[in-house]
Amino acid sequence: MSAGTTVTVSARGASWSECCTTSRTRSSGASASAVPWGSYRRPRAPTSCRRSWRRAEPRLPELPGRSPTPPPRGGAAWCGCTGLGLASDRVRLYRSGPMDASADVSNEELVIHFCGPEDRAEQARLFRACFAKDLDADGLAWRYDRNPHGAAISLISRPPGGEGICGYACSPRLAIPDGLEDHAAAIGQTGDVMTHPDWRKRGIFSGLDRACMEEVRRLGWPVTIGLPNRRSAHIFLRLGWERVGIIRPWTLVLRADRAARAVRRTDGRLRSALVPLAALGARSGRRSLRGRARGFEVRPLERFPKEVADLSRVVERRHTLMVRRDAAYLDWRFLSNAAGLHRALGVRGIEGDLAGYAVVQMPREGSAVGYLVDLLAPSEGAAAAALEGGLSLLESAGASVVQATAVAGTSWERRLVDAGFRPPRAENHLIVIAMVHRPEHPLARAVRSPAGWYLTDGDRDDETMG
C-alpha cells in the first residue's frame, strides 16, 4: 500500500465499547470484494437508543495479487447511535490548528489515509493534541522515514476536508530468531496510537488497526508486536491480538534522598520507606559489577563502530528473538534523534577490541531519574563493565534513581536483578501482545515465547523514556 492511498471507513455505532466491525473501500484502483474484518461480541445498546439492531456484513477490498479471505459467518452487530445514549450519529468536524469545530460529519464519511513524508506536519499536530509531549514534523520524520531497517507504516483517519483525528503507526525492526541469519526478517512494532480527545469512544481506531495489519501482511512481515498502555490494551485483545507476556519497570536507587523516595512512592508507601535499604542493595550489586569488570575500559562513543554487528550476531544466537544491532541502526536510534538525551559508552578489552556497549538516557532538567536504555556484551565481564559505566555516568549527572524495563523471565531482567534493581508492585506492568501473520515462520514461534527474547528499552518505538 503506497503512501497517499485512502480507505473510506463506515464506523457507525456501538463505539462506546469498541465492539463494532466496520467496512471500508480502498481508492487504490482495486475492486472491492467481501473479506472479513472479524466478528465481535454483540454490545449492549444504551437504553435511550430507539433503533433496532441490524446485521452488517463487513467488506474489505481485494489487494492486488492476493486472494480475498472468505467472508465470516454471520456478521457484526451494530447500532446507529453514537454510543452515548444520543439519537444522533453526527459528530463534529475538526480542521487544522487547534481543530476548531466547523461542521458536522457522520462516522461513515471518515477516510483512512496511508501517510507519507508530506503528511508528517499533520500527524505531528494530531500527536500534540493527544499527548503531553512536544513533537514536530522532523521528529516524526526521524521516527517513520529514517529508520535503517525500513520505513514505518503510518495511517490517519480524516473527516472530509479536515485534518487527521485518529492515528497509528507500525515500525519495522530487523529481527533474528535463534541467530538464524537465513530467517532474519522485518517484524512490526506498533506505536503512536492516538485519537483526538473529541473523537474518542467511537471505534475509529479499530479500523486503523485492521487496515495497518492488512498492509503488514501484504509486505510479508511475519509478526507484529506491541506494548499497549492500559487504556488501549483491551481494544487490541478484542481485535484478535494475543497476549504473550508482561513487561515491568525496574528501579535502582543511587541515592537515598527525597527524590528517590518520591519515585518509589508510585509503587506504594512501603517501597518509599525502604529506599535506604534499596540503596544498600544497589551499592552491593555495583561492587560485584566492579569486581567482574576488571581488565575492561569504558569510553564514550561518538559513533558506533562497525564491529558492533559482530557482537550482535554472537548474542543473537543465545536468544529466540533479538533485533539486529548494527552501527547504522544504533547511530540512528540513539545518536541522531532530536531529544539529545542519550549517551553511548563503549567497552574495550586489554587489546583494544570492542567488547560491548551501554546506552543511557540522561535525566531531564528538574528530574532525578536516569534510564539504562540498552546494553550489549557477549562476555559477563564486558557486560558488568558496560552496566557499571552507565550507572556511574548517570550518578555523576545527578540521577537519584535509574530505571529500566524488562520482559518478565528474560535474561535482561535477570541482569537487572543481579545489579541491584528493585521490582515494582505486582500490578505495575504492561502486557506484551503479538499478531502472527505467517505462522510457518520461525519468528512466529519465537514471538510466543518472550522469556527467550532480548528486548531492552532501546527496542521500543519511543525515542526516549519517561
pLDDT (0 to 100) of residue 104: 75
pLDDT (0 to 100) of residue 3: 61
Give the C-alpha separation, 367 to 433, whole Å: 31
Residue 131: count of CB within 10 angstroms of its CB:
11
Give the C-alpha separation, 245 to 79, whole Å: 35
**CA nearest 165: which of 173, 174, 156, 154?**
156
Give the C-alpha separation, 80 to 74, whole Å: 19
pLDDT (0 to 100) of residue 66: 38
Q: CA of 157: how far to CAs of 217, 229, 367, in Å?
A: 20, 21, 36
pLDDT (0 to 100) of residue 338: 86
Give the C-alpha separation, 427 to 56, whole Å: 39
Q: CA of 208: how far to CAs of 3, 374, 386, 413, in Å?
A: 14, 31, 41, 33
Structural domains present in the chain: 6-221 (3.40.630.30), 246-459 (3.40.630.30)
356 within 8 A of 385, measured Cβ to Cβ: yes
Q: 451: helix, coil or strand?
A: helix
pLDDT (0 to 100) of residue 13: 35
Could you state, in chain order, the average pLDDT of each consecutive group of 10 residues for the chain (466 residues)?
A: 51 34 35 33 39 35 41 34 32 39 67 96 95 90 96 95 94 97 97 92 91 97 95 93 97 97 94 96 96 96 97 98 98 93 97 97 96 98 98 98 98 97 94 97 96 96 88
What string of DSSP letters covers 252-270?
Answer: EES--SHHHHHHHHTT-HH
pLDDT (0 to 100) of residue 96: 39
Task: Find the length of the chain.
Answer: 466
